[in-house]
Structure 1
Amino acid sequence: MSYVYTSENAFKLLSGIVCLYKPAGVSLISCRHNLLLKLCQDLNDLEVRPPEPRVVITGDTTKELQVNVEPSYADNPLVVGPRYQEGDLKCIWTTHLASRISGVCVMGINNGTKMAYHINNKYPTRTYHLSGQLGIMTKNMFIDGKVVEKGRFDFIKRENVDKLMSTIQAASQKKMFELAKVDSQSQTAYNLAAEGLIRPTCNNEPLLYGIKCIKLDLPNFVVEVNIINEYENYLLSLVHEIGLKLRCSATCTAIRCIRYSAFNIEQALLKKHWTLEYVLNNLVKCNLEYNKLRNLPAFLTDQKYLKEDNKRVFN
């Protein structure tokens, strides 16, 4: 920020991809509003364009006229408002996150809206941490809903959970070939799998690429999933299904997105850092990451980060 002295220079630099940390309980529209509001406030605090004067010609038309330069109220910030307003900035998000979901949220600002659209068209995988609680079931499958059932959970062992995770992942891998309409035992299926991740032909069919339990502290547990085309109700029903398969009830307590394609939670800006200085610095880093990925096939990118997720060690 040492080289940004005027709001005009700062506005020109506001173009690209920014990675934010979306809090739980806040909608994407509200996040977008808060981001643009703070950016406009910081831009107006910098040196802005002074009001343009107006030329006033007075006097008798039959005699020599007087030409004066006076301040123009039509261009005064006290009349027309601040120099920069929310409508001056374009901003879209790459994928929709429901209000209950927190974590990585990638947004495109100004010319970065095209970059965000390009990333979304690549159908990148996302990684979520699903937190759940055993022994309880609610009406909406989330912890804030009405409790409809309670039960025992002390009989559940770690080996039972790991076995269930393997079963779910195996069923999901079989579903990949079903969506591709090929026999999983055929040479075509082998060639298709060798090319990379098998993606669904439509963007409304959730597909699970990996699932594992990273924490089990009864009655609480945390499951990490690598998924594509997900939505909130599907993630809630996944936690609910885990409880049913374990012959117990379960409800989701939190959903957190920790990675979106190449953008991870370490790059995401907290709400207190949604300022012009931090956003400009984040834009530079995210734009460099985008330039590395734009020429690579989507499956190569996802394979790289899925392998990194599998190597991660959790306590």
Structure 2
Amino acid sequence: MYYSFGALCESRMAARLFRRVQGLFCVYKPPGVHWKLVRDTVETNLLQELNASAARPVPREVRYLLSQSCTGDGPKALTLSAASVPVLSEHPLVTGPDFQRIRVGVGHRLDAFSSGVLVLGVGNANKALNDLYSPRVTRDYTVEGEFGTATDDFSNLGRVIERSTYDHITRDKLERILAMLQGVNQKALLTYSKVDMRTQEAYEMAVQGLLGPEDKSVPILLGLRCIRFEPPNFTLEIQVLNETQKYLRKVVHEIGLELRSTAVCKSIRRTRDGRFTVHHALTRNQWTAAEIMKAIQQYHTTKKRTRVIQEQNELHDKKQDTTHSQSTTDKVDAVV
């Protein structure tokens, strides 16, 4: 049995391709689609392309076959003849495809009602998904609401349980409620941060925006802003920690109650999950191995650039601290 040089090259090419598609990237999940279907579609596309690149001809072997030869009127003689025949035990229909399963993991999930950034990891990169579950990793959403109705699940698709007026609601009143909610959540953030607010460390962390819960906490709203107000419709931009989409719909419901009315959530769109933004998300026609490899490479490049900038900033801060300390020492020596 023997393999051709071309078959070995194709096998190595498939192995290299598999290594290059291992990493983190994000896709755009459309509304009305379950996140499992998105993951399974990406996995199927990758398997098909990897197996197509790994396709190799069936190996062949030399066998001696019996054949009958007729010599005149005498009996037929048996002869052996060498022939090259395919090895059926190595045929793809017998062995199956080379790649039968690829482990595709999912970061923070989105329910079927919601859309937006969904982070996926392939192969060994699934371990890196744990970083996204850090209690300090924030996410951004664009949430659309509508005044005048209350439902049993806080969405516009639920069973209507109450209707109310909304003519008295103004943008100023809405923004005051948003500011009040943000203030309450800011206190919760300080509580879960477990940092003494009277220390210099707490002040520096607050300035740099590094305050966050040390452990798993309740959902915390870090930012809440109205970007569109056209009653009964309105749109909010929300930055949040440890949330679920059900919690965001409940926030819209509570805003309606605070304004002495009712409100339902019409749509939820995640625009950022950690480092991944909607600009990095691959749409349905881009869920291919080539586009995924490009997105993974872009993520690694951005991450490396960010790390270099952070190291430079830390080095600069250390130099400034050293210079300030030396200046203070010189002044003390001069006084003495």
For normalisation by structure 2, the TM-score amounts to: 0.76
Show CA shifts across 1:261-306 (max 9, x none). 2211011011121122222221211222233456888xx9xxxxxx
Cα RMSD (Å) of the superposition? 2.9
Pairs within 5 Å for 1:103-114 = 103-114=116-127
How much has 1:193 moved relative to structure 2? Answer: 2.5
Show CA shifts across 1:3-43 (max 9, x none). x9854442232121111101122222211100011122233
Pairs within 5 Å for 1:234-313 = 234-293=247-306
Q: Structure 2 residue aligned with 1:34, among 20, 41, 56?
A: 41
Show CA shifts across 1:45-93 (max 9, x none). 446233334576889xxxxx998653222322223333433x1x22112
Q: Structure 2 residue aligned with 1:199, among 212, 215, 229?
A: 212
Three-state SS of the structure 2 residue aligned to 1:236 is: helix
Structure 1 stretch displaced more, 107-116 or 158-167: 107-116
Q: What letter is aligned with 2:237?
A: E
Q: Structure 2 residue aligned with 1:176, among 161, 164, 189?
A: 189
The answer to whether the Cα contact below 8 Å between 1:132 and 1:254 also exists between their aligned partners in 2 is yes
Three-state SS of the structure 2 residue aligned to 1:111 is: helix
The answer to whether the Cα contact below 8 Å between 2:135 and 2:216 also exists between their aligned partners in 1 is no
Show CA shifts across 1:125-171 (max 9, x none). 10011111110111111111111111111221111111111111111
Gaps of 5+ in 1: 60-64, 301-315
Change (3 A) 1:270 1:190: same
| Residue 50, structure 1, aligned to residue 65, structure 2 | no
Whichever of the two has the greater Rg, that structure is 2
C-alpha separation in 2, matches of 1:74 and 1:142: 57
- Report the structure, 1 or 2, having the larger helix content: 2
1:24 alignment counterpart: 31
Structure 1 stretch displaced more, 183-192 or 158-167: 183-192
Q: How many residues are treated as equivalent by the alignment?
A: 288
2:94 alignment counterpart: 79
Q: What letter is aligned with 1:208?
A: L
How much has 1:223 moved relative to structure 2? Answer: 0.8
Q: Structure 2 residue aligned with 1:217, among 219, 225, 230?
A: 230
C-alpha separation in 2, matches of 1:141 and 1:153: 17
Q: What letter is aligned with 2:89?
A: A
Work out the percentage of aligned pairs sharing the same amino acid.
Answer: 31
C-alpha separation in 2, matches of 1:294 and 1:130: 32
Q: Structure 1 residue aligned with 2:176, among 160, 163, 183?
A: 163
Show CA shifts across 1:186-220 (max 9, x none). 77754553463322232242111111111111111
